[in-house]
Amino acid sequence: MTRKLLGALSPFALFAASCSPSVAGDSPPAAAASAVELEVKQVASFNEPWAMAILPGVNAALVTEKSGKLKLVNANGSVVEVAGGPQVDYGGQGGFGDVVLAPDFAQSGHVYLTWAEAGQNDTRGAALGRAKLVMGGQPRLEGLEVLWRQAPKVTGRGHYSHRIAFSPDGKYLFLASGDRQKMDPAQDLTGNLGKVLRLNLDGTAAAGNPFAAQGGVSAEIWSYGHHNILGMAFDPQGRLWDLEHGPAGGDELNLVQPGKNYGWPVVSEGDHYDGKVIPPHSTRPDMAPPALAWTPVIAPGNFIFYRGDLFSGWKGQAVIAGLGSQGLVRVALHGDMAHEVARHPLGSRVRQVNEAADGSLWVLTDRADGKLLRVAPKGK
């Protein structure tokens, strides 16, 4: 099935510049963007897909399904299950999470995975593991080991975050740990909820982290005061950015820097769902404001920084998977700030976007009827 869609300049990009809350890094008026006609081809179907890692050289990808299955999909649409995955605690926002290839995947065959893990007394938390991917007639994971766990495990089934990003030099693993809908732990440096963590590749705390002197879980922390991070990526300059859901309003794109407090739940550009007002970042200059905030929200999935040439003019821009916005959202950086450039509607909640070797985009749509789509400029 092939559909042709027109990516148009977002009216909200213009609206946000003049009407959004006053935040350092708010979007300036969006620059004019050339419309691009997209060709969208369905490749395969999945049940609640959550994340994807494209394998080098074989035109295939690993896809996690939230209920607990890891699938291998080829560009021809064939899908097989990968054996040996973890046991996940499925429900609410919990289940199988991220899948990312190790920096040395070509040599080691290692993949890193995250998932929701059950604890005692109706508690649960995110876990990070590593295993070797063995290909063949029946692909499988071998030697799966747990490297890290959220601490503490808590009740509820929300805001695990558990996104993975490797540093450009391949030495460190950055891990998003959500606030688990408990809010206050995001400000507590004795736990790792509501944080971005910098770990060694074996899951231990990396040397030189901002709170290393405190020892224990505190030594893992790179930044804190985060809500529910569903995207992390390094830009072409090697800087780490995160993308997180706000409460009722106030989705955020943040330049993540060591030791900084990003404010949750003390400040936000959104308010609580019950209408209770949260002070904006401008009231607390000691806390880092977002580079860009969205109200109404886009409800983001993951994002990438586009590095290819297939989409003219996109190189270096962030391409965001939009759940609530049901398509792709394109953002340009200017220093440590950002502004929205365009939206490209796909008519479905988009959970994940990855860049393929040819510069096309492989996109996962959300929920039980999730699809893998190849998105490219018309004729490409």
Q: What is the pLDDT of residues 109-139, one digit of tens each?
A: 999 999 999 999 999 999 999 999 999 889 9
pLDDT tens readout for residues 33-49: 447 899 999 999 999 99
Residue pair 4/378 in contact by the 8 Å Cβ criterion: yes
- Where are any strands of DSSP class E within 213-291? 221-224, 228-234, 240-245, 251-255
The percent of the chain in helix, strand and coil, each rounded to the nearest 5, is 5, 45, 45
Q: What is the pTM of this model?
A: 0.93
Residue pair 66/96 in contact by the 8 Å Cβ criterion: yes
Intra-chain end-to-end CA distance of the chain, in Å: 15
Per-residue pLDDT at 30 exceeds 90: no
Domain ranges of the chain: 2-377
Q: Which of 159, 162, 245, 344 is catalytic?
A: 159
Instruction: Quote the pLDDT of residue 340.
Output: 98
Q: How would residue 63 be classed by pLDDT, with cut points 50, 70 and 90?
A: very high
Distance in angstroms (rounded) separating the CA atoms of residues 65 and 137: 21
Looking at domain 2-377, its CATH architecture is 6 Propeller (2.120)
Helical segments of 147-187, H only: none
Per-residue pLDDT at 220 exceeds 50: yes
Would you call 226 a catalytic residue per the annotation?
A: no
Per-residue pLDDT at 64 exceeds 80: yes
Mean pLDDT of the chain: 92
pLDDT tens readout for residues 170-189: 999 999 999 999 999 999 99
Q: Buried b vs exposed e over 219-250: b needs ≥16 C-beta within 10 Å? A: bbbbbbbbbbbbbbbbbeeeebbbbbbbbbbb
Residue pair 72/139 in contact by the 8 Å Cβ criterion: yes
Instruction: Quote the pLDDT of residue 35.
Output: 72
Instruction: Quote the pLDDT of residue 274.
Output: 96
Degrees (nearest 5) of the Cα angle 283, 261, 29?
60
Per-residue pLDDT at 285 exceeds 80: yes
Distance in angstroms (rounded) separating the CA atoms of residues 286 and 62: 41
Instruction: Quote the pLDDT of residue 230.
Output: 98
Distance in angstroms (rounded) separating the CA atoms of residues 271 and 115: 29
Residues 6+ apart with CB under 8 A from 366: 48, 49, 301, 323, 348, 349, 350, 351
Instruction: Quote the pLDDT of residue 198.
Output: 98
Q: For the residues 373-379, what does the mean pLDDT come to?
A: 97
Radius of gyration of the chain (CA): 20
Instruction: Quote the pLDDT of residue 100.
Output: 98
Q: How would residue 16 be classed by pLDDT, with cut points 50, 70 and 90?
A: very low
Classify residue 207 as exposed, middle or buried by CB count within 10 Å of its CB (0-12, 13-18, 19+): exposed
Q: Buried b vs exposed e over 268-304: b needs ≥16 C-beta within 10 Å? A: bbbbeeeeeebebbeeeeebbbbbbbbbebbbbbbbb
Q: How many CB atoms lie within 10 A of CB 78?
A: 11
Q: For the residues 8-30, what does the mean pLDDT come to?
A: 36
Residue pair 222/198 in contact by the 8 Å Cβ criterion: yes
- Amino acid identity, position 69: K
Instruction: Quote the pLDDT of residue 322.
Output: 98
- Express as a percent the part of the chain with pLDDT over 70: 91
DSSP single-letter state for residue 160: -
Nearest C-alpha neighbor of 209 from the set 195, 194, 220: 220
Q: For the residues 15-34, what does the mean pLDDT come to?
A: 37
As given in the structure block, the two tokens for residue 250 are: 């106030």
